């Protein structure tokens, strides 16, 4: 038996586009004599459709697409993902389902059992959980069908009471198929392989796992579809971040005793960089945006965002503004100009001083002679944002936000100033990781100038300002932030790890008291296990640690 995995990029709600892509892959697989082809979870409508599932018209278009695709399955079977109707009065109205198509019609509908309701997932909001298990005969073999999370209830502290694979294994399947929509984070590909290897070995089943690629707003999908042998070895791992169709002989997979090293490289920083490029490109392509703009300050964050934007969109579609004030060093402007020239991107130098002075003169009677403080600093950031948004409105640019995760965590940014934008490119990348990204960008030749890398970080909103005037050094700050945000370690645990109590209290107070800023920030491209956005839901009004 020949099995194909179609690792594809879908657009939520683009039923015609998704259908054409799926049918084209079915025809390609049939031409190569495949018996069965897999597509990813909710491939018909795109993942995650969220509250679109509350619209009957949306669901009906999913069902109509499935029927159209089924007509193409003469001489080949296909497994596609789409919602299905729960005809029982009890429970939610929909299932998250895998449709087994063959001989021109829907042969079976297999419903997802485990509905994730953590981090960015909210499937139990829409779907009913499957309670019925079995295996399906096809061409003389018994198939175990699972949908994404159904494979993940493993380890010493399983999340769910039911383990679907264990239930299905009682029906003696010959192999297992899994369709997934598994969002990227830089650790997930390793975790995914570990789970599949453990499951395959435990039940002595080959597993064919099909994931999607691309991005949907903040969620990035890396692909990395897998074939695992019954011995728990990686027979193949498909490419990251690329559409691809691969073909496998089932008997060859079953009989394999030495799969060798067929895994893709999984370096943290290369994966993050690729993911960010994909995230920017997909956001623009899927929303039919063409051109990006950002403020290029001469600092490291905006330099990295500019490089990512150029790779994602092409240099002809990226514009930068340098907007110096009296507090900006000549070297910062020179560094920004040098980078713009190296990247070959359009750029303008626009002084904000006249507007800043006029604003201060207008507000002077109302400021009552009070000394210079954060008010005047924020005015500069907001004037810069006004310039950038003016270009967006007049010339149809989309503003890329350049704030990093460390800054967003502690509120070191100006609302309606440097925190505005259409997409936060580095909002899930700590400052120390930004420096690692620079090394990766400069790995073959110097693109980001050394002076940008080596100078102390500064917002340049007051004389001789440095980030370290307001914050701990980033190498210390980021260690605390990682433990608190991603590992959910409390203050006592952090102190036990060796961090000074007064520092821990200060940092955690900054994080929790700035939730209102993050709530108003642009969508953040997710590359870690715990990003700001839909996967981290904290109240704005609260007392805890604030």
Please indicate whether residue 148 is annotated as part of the active site.
yes
* Tokens encoding 282: 């997909």
Task: Name the phi and psi angles at 177, rounded to 5.
Answer: -115, 140
Please indicate whether residue 315 is annotated as part of the active site.
no
Helix 374-395 × helix 353-367 angle, to 10°: 130
41, 311, 376, 460: the catalytic one is: 41
DSSP 241: S
Please indicate whether residue 62 is annotated as part of the active site.
no
Distance of alpha carbon 360 from alpha carbon 288, whole angstroms? 39
* Tokens encoding 185: 């984070």
19, 21, 30, 112: the catalytic one is: 112
Distance of alpha carbon 296 from alpha carbon 318, whole angstroms? 11
Containing 175, the helix (H) or strand (E) segment is strand 175-179
Bridge-based pairing of strands 234-237 and 226-228 is: antiparallel
Q: Under a CB-based contact definition with an 8 Å cutoff, are residues 33 and 3 in contact?
A: no
User: What's the number of CA atoms in the CB half-sphere (13 Å) around residue 77?
Assistant: 19
Largest CA distance in the chain: 87
Q: Is 461 left (phi over 0), alpha (psi -120 to 50) or beta?
A: alpha
User: For residue 416, which of 436, 401, 429 has the smallest C-alpha distance?
Assistant: 401
State the sign of the Cα–Cα–Cα–Cα dihedral 379, 384, 388, 393: positive
Q: What is the dihedral of CA 447, 452, 454, 457, to 10 degrees?
A: -140
Distance of alpha carbon 125 from alpha carbon 317, whole angstroms? 39
19, 72, 123, 148: the catalytic one is: 148
Distance of alpha carbon 284 from alpha carbon 31, whole angstroms? 34
| Neighbouring C-beta atoms of residue 122, cutoff 10 Å | 18
What ranges in 223-352 are assigned the alpha helix state H?
250-255, 268-286, 300-313, 330-343
* Tokens encoding 137: 């005969």
* Tokens encoding 84: 């299905």
Bridge-based pairing of strands 77-85 and 94-102 is: antiparallel
What ranges in 174-299 are assigned the alpha helix state H?
188-203, 250-255, 268-286
Q: Classify residue 137 by burial, with Cβ atoms within 10 Å: 0-12, 13-18, 19+.
A: exposed
Q: What is the dihedral of CA 103, 108, 109, 112, to 10 degrees?
A: -120
Q: Classify residue 396 by burial, with Cβ atoms within 10 Å: 0-12, 13-18, 19+.
A: exposed
User: For residue 310, which of 476, 448, 485 has the smallest C-alpha distance?
Assistant: 448
Residues 6 or more apart whose Cβ sits within 8 Å of residue 537:
none
User: Catalytic residue positions?
Assistant: 41, 112, 148
């Amino acid at each position: 038996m020949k099995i194909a995995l179609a690792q594809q990029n879908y657009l939520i709600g683009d039923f015609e586009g998704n259908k054409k892509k799926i049918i084209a892959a079915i025809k390609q697989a049939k031409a190569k004599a495949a018996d069965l082809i897999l597509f990813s979870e909710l491939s018909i409508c795109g993942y995650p459709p969220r509250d679109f599932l509350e619209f009957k018209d949306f669901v009906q278009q999913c069902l109509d697409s499935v029927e159209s695709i089924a007509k193409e399955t003469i001489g080949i079977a296909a497994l596609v993902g789409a919602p299905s109707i729960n005809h029982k009065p009890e429970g939610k109205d929909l299932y998250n389902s895998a449709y087994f198509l063959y001989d021109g019609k829907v042969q079976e509908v297999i419903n997802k059992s485990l509905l994730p309701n953590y981090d960015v997932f909210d499937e139990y909001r829409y779907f009913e959980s499957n309670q019925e298990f079995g295996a399906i005969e096809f061409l003389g073999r018994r198939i175990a069908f699972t949908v994404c999370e159904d494979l993940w209830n493993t380890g010493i502290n399983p999340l769910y009471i039911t383990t679907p694979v264990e239930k299905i294994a009682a029906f003696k399947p010959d192999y297992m198929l899994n369709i997934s929509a598994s969002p990227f984070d830089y650790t997930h590909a390793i975790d995914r392989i570990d789970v599949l290897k453990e499951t395959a070995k435990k039940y002595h089943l080959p597993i064919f796992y099909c994931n999607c690629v691309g991005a949907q707003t903040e969620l990035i999908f890396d692909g990395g579809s897998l074939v695992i042998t019954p011995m728990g070895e990686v027979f193949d791992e498909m490419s990251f971040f690329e559409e691809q169709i691969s073909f496998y002989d089932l008997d060859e997979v079953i009989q394999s005793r030495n799969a060798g090293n067929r895994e893709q490289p999984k370096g943290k920083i290369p994966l993050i960089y690729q993911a960010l490029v994909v995230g920017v490109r997909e956001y623009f392509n899927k929303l039919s945006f063409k051109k990006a703009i950002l403020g290029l300050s001469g600092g490291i964050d905006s330099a990295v965002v500019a490089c990512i934007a150029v790779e994602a969109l092409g240099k002809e579609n990226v514009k930068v503004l340098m907007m110096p004030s009296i507090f900006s060093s000549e070297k910062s402007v020179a560094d920004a100009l040098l980078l713009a020239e190296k990247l070959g991107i359009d750029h303008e130098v626009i002084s904000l001083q006249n507007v800043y002075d006029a604003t201060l003169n207008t507000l002077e009677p109302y400021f009552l002679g009070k000394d210079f403080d954060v008010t005047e600093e924020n005015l500069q950031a907001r004037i810069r944002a006004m310039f950038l948004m003016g270009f967006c409105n007049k010339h149809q640019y989309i503003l890329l936000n350049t704030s990093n995760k460390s800054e967003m965590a502690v509120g070191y940014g100006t609302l309606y100033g440097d925190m505005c934008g259409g997409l936060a490119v580095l909002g899930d990348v700590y400052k120390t990781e930004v420096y690692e990204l620079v090394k990766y960008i400069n790995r073959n030749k110097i693109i980001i100038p050394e002076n940008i890398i080596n100078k102390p970080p500064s917002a340049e909103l007051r004389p001789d300002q440095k980030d370290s005037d307001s914050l701990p050094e980033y190498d210390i700050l980021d260690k605390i932030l990682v433990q608190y945000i991603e590992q959910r370690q409390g203050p006592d645990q952090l102190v036990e790890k060796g961090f000074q109590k007064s520092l821990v209290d200060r940092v955690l107070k900054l994080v929790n008291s700035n939730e209102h800023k993050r709530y108003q920030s642009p969508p953040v491209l997710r590359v870690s296990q715990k990003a700001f956005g839909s996967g981290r839901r904290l109240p704005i009004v609260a007392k805890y640690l604030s």
